[in-house]
Structure 1
Amino acid sequence: MARYLLSRNCMSRFTQGYKNSQRLRKCCGCRDFSSLNVMHDRQNQRFTITLDGDGAVSSAVLKYTIRHDQQVELMSTEVPQSHRGKGVAAQLAKAALDFVVKENLKAKISCSYIRKYVDENPHLGYQAHIEDT
């Protein structure tokens, strides 16, 4: 079953009787949360999602730096205004944190959104890889 991240508008419509996810996608253009393709550019130390909306192509970016051996600083997430609230930043955060876990790194979080994502998803086990500052 596909998972959808619902905007406030969609959530309101959903609770008012929109039971079918296909109808939800049509109501305000919510996208399949799992369909976003996150690219990891190690050389430029960033995770990127290319977004296509209304014929214009833009990107959402999560930037990080390698501070020392085995330490990463997750610095910022940037999502174009037209794509906010649709799960794009969550996909970036998940990809970056999965990278930290896979590579057995420690992460310092400077981005408030990534901190919020970790705090709201304790079941994903990222906390063990986070340095408290």
Structure 2
Amino acid sequence: MARHLLSVNFMFRFTRGYKNSQRLKHTCCGSSCTDASSLCVIHDRQNQRFTITLDCDGAASSAALKYTITHDQLVELMSTEVPQSHRGKGVAAHLAKAALDFVVEENMKARISCWYIRKYVDENPHLRYQTHIED
């Protein structure tokens, strides 16, 4: 799956230009209310957020990770919000991965204000996000 994600990101950047896009789909595999591997993360640069639309039995809701970018290109990862009905299913992990991949791809530094994103970085040292984290 990681190879697929990298090739999708590369093709998007190659054909449309990553820095100029308003929206970028990182992963999209269908929809299911219980299967975290089928979530679609959308990067909305204009509103500085990553979102996942959750549709379970006709009830639509969304999860979001909010960030800001300072004048010196430091990304502050502020918060993750996941509806109660979808917590514990890997939704926040998909948001955190998408945001941290964005930081790495843009060769930026990040400051983490959200406890969950900090936990994600600490629990996934093999992804090497730590070198992009400013304490």
Letter in structure 1 aligned against 2:48: Q
**Aligned residue runs from structure 1 range 63-82, under 5 A:** 63-82=66-85
Q: CA deviation at 1:55?
A: 1.4
Q: CA deviation at 1:70?
A: 2.1
Counterpart selection for 2:104 from 96, 101, 106 = 101
CA distance in 2, matches of 1:35, 1:53: 12
Match of 1:83 in 2: 86
Letter in structure 2 aligned against 1:112: W
CA distance in 2, matches of 1:128, 1:58: 34
Give the alignment's TM-score, normalised by structure 2: 0.74
Taking CA–CA contacts closer than 8 Å with sequence separation of 6 or more, which of the two structures ends up with the larger relative contact order?
Answer: 1
- Asked which structure has the greater CA Rg, the reply is 1
CA distance in 2, matches of 1:82, 1:68: 37
2:41 is equivalent to residue 38 of structure 1: yes
Letter in structure 2 aligned against 1:102: E
Q: CA deviation at 1:67?
A: 1.6
Query: Considering only aligned residues, what root-mean-square deviation do their CA atoms show, in Å?
Result: 1.3
Q: CA deviation at 1:69?
A: 2.5
5+ residue gaps, structure 2, are 2-32
* TM superposition outliers: structure 1 runs of 4+ over 3 Å: none
Same amino acid, percent of matched pairs: 83
Give the alignment's TM-score, normalised by structure 1: 0.75
Letter in structure 2 aligned against 1:30: T
CA distance in 1, matches of 2:133, 2:40: 25
**Contact 1:70–1:104, Cα closer than 8 Å, also in 2:** no
5+ residue gaps, structure 1, are 2-28
CA distance in 2, matches of 1:97, 1:53: 27
Q: CA deviation at 1:52?
A: 0.5
SS at 2:80's partner residue?
Answer: strand
